[in-house]
Amino acid sequence: MTSSYLILATLAMAAVTFITRALPALIPRKLLDTPWLHRLNESLPLSVMVLLILTSLSYQDLSTTVTLNDTELHLLMAQVGALILVLFIYHISRQLLVSMVVGIAAINGLFWLFSSFLG
């Protein structure tokens, strides 16, 4: 990758981020009060959580024919435990950021716990 490519990619990402942040201020208020947009606003946090959960469970070495070694098994158990904890915290608090922080802390803590006491 050349430096000009990296600069252009960074500028493109900055432009897309700016446009998505500025768009609600530029759209007339009448269009922002539509029912479908309110439903989208209500369901978006749950959609983000589902996408985060699905991407976190992509496990490359897991198949039906491969046996798991201790580290892989501990990582899988930590992922499943963190997933359950994130879903529980999100169900209680309905706060996406709190659930994400709990998930990050939980996966690290559970992996350390499983590696220390079971391995």
Residues 47-59 have pLDDT tens digits of 777 777 777 665 5
For residue 38, give both structure tokens.
């309110």
The amino acid at 47: S
Cβ atoms within 10 Å of 44's Cβ, excluding its own: 11
Domains of the chain, by residue range, sit at 1-33, 34-117
In percent, the amount of the chain with pLDDT more than 70 equals 85
Give the whole-angstrom CA distance, residue 115 versus residue 117.
6
For residue 25, give both structure tokens.
């201020």
**Whole-model pTM?**
0.51
